[in-house]
Amino acid sequence: MQTPRICGQPNDLSAYWLPFTPNRSFKERPRLVSKAKGMHYTSVDGRKILDAVSGLWCVNAGHNRSMIVKAIQDQAERLDFASSFQTSHPIAFQLATQLSLISPEGLDRVFFTNSGSESVDTALKIALAWHKVNGEGGRTRLIGREKGYHGVNFGGTSVGGMVANRKMYGSLLAGVDHLPHTLLRENAFSRGLPEKGADLADALERIAQLHDPSTIAAVIVEPISCSGGVILPPKGYLERLRDLCTGYGILLIFDEVITGFGRTGDTFASQTFGVVPDMITTAKGLTNGSVPMGAVLVKQEIHDAFMQGPEDTIELFHGYTYSGHPLAAAAGLATLDLYRQEKLFARARSLSAVFEERLHSLRDCPNVTDIRNYGLVGAIDLKPIEGYPTKRAFSIMQRAFEAGILIRSTGDTLALSPPLIISESQIGDITDLLARLITEAA
């Protein structure tokens, strides 16, 4: 096959402005993959790269699974596109039904989006609109959490709590406040959920009294803040948040864009932790990363509150051209089948002890200041190099790629979230390489 010559040079890297990437350093030393299968990518120079982060926390069943590939191919031949505005197609309904059957009790209405960011903004808008239809239009405030990540649209950026993601974008949404994060020094090297810090949820009480509870529409948190560095909820924290929200009539939204679809050993972390929110935002693992799709799972009573007035008027003025796209819906159905057939969520649960053990074996490596884990997600904090924050973790990520393993660095944290099909020996391969690279980087 001839190499396409678009910018005058074969494979010119200059035109593409990569998201969330140091572009100049990337283009000096690119990490390019061209194929994938199961646990591995193949780089453009033909090397096998073990994927320790499920692509970007999304390929939970492993890459290029034939059931999903076939479903997408068949669907592309049958129906390329159907508008979801005032028409639709059967498999979007099938997927919504399947999702409602595996979601936590009561969250059985589904609004489709194309990404995690869109799911978050959709959920925030539904929260505001729901209070309005309930005659509580004064509930306009949204509460997020420090170090939280809810995507990059204006709503998600506003409730998000990662400073670098916010500081360039002006004043963002008005009326937003943030809970304190739950990353406590005294919980360092906890295995699973940390013991201390449930009382951090009580900050909601203070925020509610500051603004008056009747002005607050919703609280949004990730059950585990993965992008912020795999920050876990202290034992009892989510329960307290739930109770406070219920008491004050505030909607609780769990952003499960990463924690959904097996990462914690169940369909949703909400089920693992036994706390039911009013809405769940999802994306990523919903289609195993194969076709962009997100969804907001909504309590039926919230949905039903909109189903009033004349039957031929639109109930919610919101939606995307590609909501419930046929290819994404087909990919989603096949993905859920695959998760079920291979019992992948139970597999994540059963591998979590080995994962935890191997991860914590890195504790004595130089400059390791904390290790956190739950299910098949984990993180290693490294002491920053003085004057060069983020450099230590970033260079370890680069060297790991060159050595044949894809990991993620965020700040001075290394993050792991492997596909749920990973083997015990592959977990060992990842931690062995990390032990070597962390030691060499000292």
Ligand X SMILES: Cc1ncc(COP(=O)(O)O)c(C=O)c1O
Give the residues lining the site for ligand X (CB under 6 A): 115-117, 120, 149-151, 222, 226-227, 255, 257-258, 283
Which residue number places its CB atom closest to ligand X? 116
Q: Residue 258 or residue 396: which is nearer to ligand X going by CB?
A: 258
Q: Which two tokens stand for residue 27?
A: 């283009």
The candidate with the shortest Cα–Cα distance to 283, out of 212, 316, 331, 337, is 331
Q: Residue 120 or residue 231: which is nearer to ligand X going by CB?
A: 120
**Shortest distance, position 282 Cβ to ligand X, whole Å:** 9
- Residue 51 CA to residue 196 CA, distance in Å, equals 33
**Shortest distance, position 347 Cβ to ligand X, whole Å:** 22
Angle subtended at Cα 439 by Cα 434 and Cα 442, rounded to the nearest 5 degrees: 130
DSSP 388: B
Residue 372's H or E segment, with its range, is strand 368-374
Q: Residue 43 or residue 117: which is nearer to ligand X going by CB?
A: 117
The candidate with the shortest Cα–Cα distance to 224, out of 193, 184, 267, is 193
**Shortest distance, position 270 Cβ to ligand X, whole Å:** 13
Write the DSSP string, 381-428: EEPPBTTBTTHHHHHHHHHHHHHTEE-EEETTEEEE---TT--HHHHH
Strands (E), 95-180: 109-113, 141-145, 176-179
Q: Are 431 and 414 in contact (CB under 8 A)?
A: no
- Residue 28 CA to residue 12 CA, distance in Å, equals 12
Residue given tokens 């307290």 in the structure block = 240
**Shortest distance, position 257 Cβ to ligand X, whole Å:** 4
DSSP 225: B
- Residue 61 CA to residue 39 CA, distance in Å, equals 9
Q: Residue 53 or residue 204: which is nearer to ligand X going by CB?
A: 53
Beta-carbon neighbour count of residue 212 at 10 Å?
11
**Radius of gyration (C-alpha) of the chain in whole angstroms:** 22
**Shortest distance, position 301 Cβ to ligand X, whole Å:** 24
Q: Residue 226 or residue 232: which is nearer to ligand X going by CB?
A: 226
Q: Residue 328 or residue 368: which is nearer to ligand X going by CB?
A: 328
Q: Residue 139 or residue 150: which is nearer to ligand X going by CB?
A: 150
- Residue 83 identity (one-letter amino acid): S
Q: Residue 283 or residue 333: which is nearer to ligand X going by CB?
A: 283
**Shortest distance, position 72 Cβ to ligand X, whole Å:** 18
**Shortest distance, position 28 Cβ to ligand X, whole Å:** 25
Q: Residue 117 or residue 267: which is nearer to ligand X going by CB?
A: 117
**Shortest distance, position 375 Cβ to ligand X, whole Å:** 15
* 253 SS3 class: strand
**Shortest distance, position 328 Cβ to ligand X, whole Å:** 12
Strands (E), 60-210: 109-113, 141-145, 176-179
